[in-house]
Amino acid sequence: MAEEHDLSMMENLYWWGIPTLFRCPQDELKTADIALVGVPHSTGNGTTERDQHLGPRAVRNVSALQRRTHGDFKINPWNEAKIIDAGDVPLPRANDNEHCIEQITNFYKAVDNSNTRPVSIGGDHSITGGIIQGLANGVLTNGEKICFLHLDAHTDVFTTVDHFLGAQKSAAHWGAYLPDQGMIDPKNSMQIGLRGHPRTLDWLQPSYDYGYNIVTMKEYRKRGALDVVEQVKAVLDGRPVYITFDLDCLDPSVAPAVSNIEPGVKGFSIDEAIELIHAVRGMNIIGGDVVCLMPTKDSPNQITAMVAAAIMFEMISMIAELKVKNAIV
């Protein structure tokens, strides 16, 4: 017992041992309920803010600190579900965004074929397009369209430009081309936290045109968290839910090391963001991602990487809870 206690203590010391995501074993997809995946991709952000590809390595470095039991859910996700570190998506032509998105798609098709629910760390927000292309119309969705819970300062539905500094399936376009391909259902998806002074006054119009349910940060502050949570439940309940979390939805004081930072309007606190994520607790969560971490801009205590890991932990715990309740097999 003393040795087990010592080991459990050591497992939470992130500077000790060989880093995997949350100290999970590296194993084959077919053995897992949940696959933790790194997507070290930056070129979807149009060659700007390029060190987002270092995000998975940074979170692997600190995520052992978040290998916890969930105090609110009253579960130990690491015991209740088989959770593995599935490694990083291989990107041999890392400067070719379109090839990278194709590689990401192929990787996640294998994840879906294994009936394994992925929780991923990016990488810029273009990775969501590749991930959804891999999961859509597959095993996890049972052929239904995917519905987003999307927390972000930006819409990523920029239809008025055909590329972002050369990237076609970019961090600015996935919210448009995925519904164009029939893979997601915007009318039963939520975009929450949009804020900042826009480059053009019609910046939200494409999201409205696609039918997304939009809650800007200003509307969130006016309506209050409980009202928005109730809307999330009404819109997403009973559907295949995918959570995509851009760290720039958080206030810069909470997560300073993010790309495309929006300092002019207060973002979410960590408690507010987690409350919104918990709105889909108990639903058919097929996976999620956390994106836009900029490790070279982080504070010395790596707070943004730790926040990214904390958000991943909430996703992991909600999926593991489905396993506890026999809602997934």
Q: Is the pLDDT of residue 238 over 90?
A: yes
Structural domain including 232 reads 36-324
- Give the three-class secondary structure for 250: strand
Classify residue 31: in a domain, yes or no: no
Rounded CA-CA distance 171/174 in Å is: 6
Q: Which of 28, 104, 121, 105 is nearest to 66 (CA)?
A: 121
Residue with tokens 């579960």: 75
What's the confidence (pLDDT) of residue 167?
A: 76
- The CATH number covering residue 298 comes to 3.40.800.10
Classify residue 21: in a domain, yes or no: no
Q: Output the six-digit token pair for 43.
A: 């070129």
- Give the three-class secondary structure for 301: coil
Of 2-6, 136-140, 242-246, give the lowest mean pLDDT range. Answer: 2-6
Classify residue 93: in a domain, yes or no: yes
Rounded CA-CA distance 292/146 in Å is: 22
Please answer whether residues 248 and 152 qualify as being in contact, where contact means their C-beta atoms are separated by less than 8 angstroms.
Answer: yes
Classify residue 107: in a domain, yes or no: yes
Sign of CA dihedral 42, 48, 54, 59: negative
pLDDT tens digits, one per residue of 254-304 = 999 999 899 999 999 999 999 999 999 999 999 999 999 999 999 999 999
Classify residue 159: in a domain, yes or no: yes
Listed in sequence order, the DSSP H helices in the chain are 2-11, 55-62, 77-80, 97-113, 127-135, 174-180, 205-210, 217-223, 225-236, 270-277, 303-324
Classify residue 25: in a domain, yes or no: no
Classify residue 329: in a domain, yes or no: no
Q: Which of 292, 261, 255 is nearest to 274 (CA)?
A: 255
pLDDT tens digits, one per residue of 77-95 = 999 999 999 999 999 999 8
What's the confidence (pLDDT) of residue 199?
A: 80
Please answer whether residues 250 and 268 qualify as being in contact, where contact means their C-beta atoms are separated by less than 8 angstroms.
Answer: yes
Classify residue 19: in a domain, yes or no: no
pLDDT tens digits, one per residue of 58-74 = 999 999 999 999 999 99
Nearest 5°: CA angle at 328, between 212 and 241?
Answer: 5
Q: How many domains does the chain have?
A: 1
pLDDT band for position 34 (cuts 50, 70, 90):
very high
Q: Is the pLDDT of residue 219 over 90?
A: yes
Q: Is the peptide bond before 123 cis (omega within 30 degrees of 0)?
A: yes
